[in-house]
Amino acid sequence: MSKFRKVILTAALLAAAGWASAQSTAYPGVGRPATAKEIAAWDIDVRPDFKGLPAGSGSVAQGQDLWEAKCAHCHGVFGESNEVFSPLIGGTTNDDIKTGNVANLKRADFPGRTTIMKVATVSTLWDYINRAMPWTAPKSLKPDEVYAVTAYLLSLANVVPENFVLTDKNIAEVQKRMPNRNGMTTKHGMWPGKEFNGTGKPDTANVACMKNCVPEANVASMLPDYARNAHGNLADQNRLVGQQHGANTAVPENKSAPVGSAAALAVTKPVAKVADPALALLNKHTCTACHAQNTKVVGPSFNDIAKKYPGKAEYLAGKIKSGGSGVWGAIPMPAQTAPEADIKTIANWLAAGAAK
């Protein structure tokens, strides 16, 4: 610690102890007091002891309505979907609610871990739904709505009954039923400082042996041949010059090829790529929140749309403007208000094959 730092720190400690000056004198004119309204607007975090939790209430039934309108298309009606995000609900039992430890977490063969299996603190759910959900309109839920959605989620895991109304008054009781409430440990060496009473030391202890350290090495795991090109052609992911080139994984490997000849496979001609202006617009107008290039997310993939409507730019522009439902599924696409020229560019790109 520098002498300067010590002086400042001492000053700060004095200030904390009730020293008269409300403002550090070291940097006059920098920063100003925050107003009460500003703090209220931004200080939204909720701690495990519920400090920061606003008063309010919401029922499971209200939560279900909200869920189906605003959450289900990503998370599934029962919070079970893994289409867009990892599942929220599933894998916990009434017995877990009694013990506070999710038994399935001990099973190496249990597929996946849902949010409710992991989370120990109900405050975490409330806080995150409040600050970051729904996906395309974070912070749009009112406190009562956050209570309702949280209640609905908890009811899916039997933490609260179906007729439950969650409030700031009873949330501490709900905490006592969280299935994995006893599932956390801070007995490790990976937090710097003494705040969590950790072990303070690493849990592995390799030694830097230099000679005859292990018996002959055996390959225990490598990728199967058919996965060779699964990440795209690796020749295109390496520099064109250097002491090595990328392997041409677009063709099967020739394991008996002499060294040097194999390398010749990899040489590619550099091509300057020009991105279609539509690609930037897809991001700008957040089309990509619901549509992806190759996979169905909430709406159909761009490739599927292009396949279905080749050359039909005008029809597609109309659909983007008006929105609609029924062609690709039940979830409606809202009408889009992007500028006419942008919609045209996107529609032309789709009609021309949606090339990336």
Q: Which of residues 256-275 bind another protein (CB under 8 A)?
A: 256-273
Could you tell me how far CA 349 lies from the centroid of its own chain?
A: 29
Measured over the CA atoms of residue 31, residue 37, residue 38 and residue 44, the dihedral's sign is positive
Among 53, 97, 102, 287, binds another protein (CB under 8 A): 102
Q: Does 175 participate in binding another protein (rule CB under 8 A)?
A: no
Interactions with another protein, residue window 314-353 (CB under 8 A): none
Q: Which stretch, 104-112, 150-158, 321-329, 331-339, contacts another protein (CB under 8 A)?
A: 104-112
Running DSSP on this structure, what letter comes out for residue 296?
B
Distance between start and end Cα atoms, the chain? 54
Name the residue nearer to another protein (CB basis): 163 or 226: 226
- Least distance (Å) between residue 83 CB and another protein: 7
Among 56, 72, 100, 105, binds another protein (CB under 8 A): 105
Interactions with another protein, residue window 217-246 (CB under 8 A): 217-224, 226-246
Which of these, 56, 58, 50, lies nearest to 165 by C-alpha position? 58
Question: ∠256-260-262 over CA atoms, to 5°?
Answer: 50
Interactions with another protein, residue window 110-129 (CB under 8 A): 113, 115, 118-121, 123-124, 127-128
Interactions with another protein, residue window 23-82 (CB under 8 A): 23-24, 26-27, 30-34, 38-39, 42-45, 47-49, 51
Report residue 174 as tokens: 């709900």
Interactions with another protein, residue window 201-220 (CB under 8 A): 202-220
Measured over the CA atoms of residue 178, residue 182, residue 183 and residue 184, the dihedral's sign is positive
- Least distance (Å) between residue 247 CB and another protein: 5
User: What crossing angle do the helices spanning 340-351 and 313-322 adopt, rounded to 10°?
Assistant: 130
Amino acid identity of 34?
Answer: A
Name the residue nearer to another protein (CB basis): 17 or 330: 17
- Least distance (Å) between residue 351 CB and another protein: 20
Which of these, 298, 305, 330, lies nearest to 319 by C-alpha position? 305
- Least distance (Å) between residue 166 CB and another protein: 18
What gap in Å lies between CA 271 and CA 283, rounded to an integer?
A: 25
Q: How many residues bind another protein (CB under 8 A)?
A: 145
Beta-carbon neighbour count of residue 115 at 10 Å?
21
- Least distance (Å) between residue 315 CB and another protein: 26
- Least distance (Å) between residue 29 CB and another protein: 8
- Least distance (Å) between residue 61 CB and another protein: 26
Question: ∠167-100-82 over CA atoms, to 5°?
Answer: 80
Could you tell me how far CA 282 lies from the centroid of its own chain?
A: 20
What gap in Å lies between CA 276 and CA 18, rounded to an integer?
A: 62
Among 189, 332, 339, 353, binds another protein (CB under 8 A): 189
Q: Which stretch, 58-66, 165-173, 253-261, 337-345, contacts another protein (CB under 8 A)?
A: 253-261
- Least distance (Å) between residue 105 CB and another protein: 4
Report residue 155 as tokens: 């009811």
- H helix or E strand, kind and range, residue 166: strand 165-167
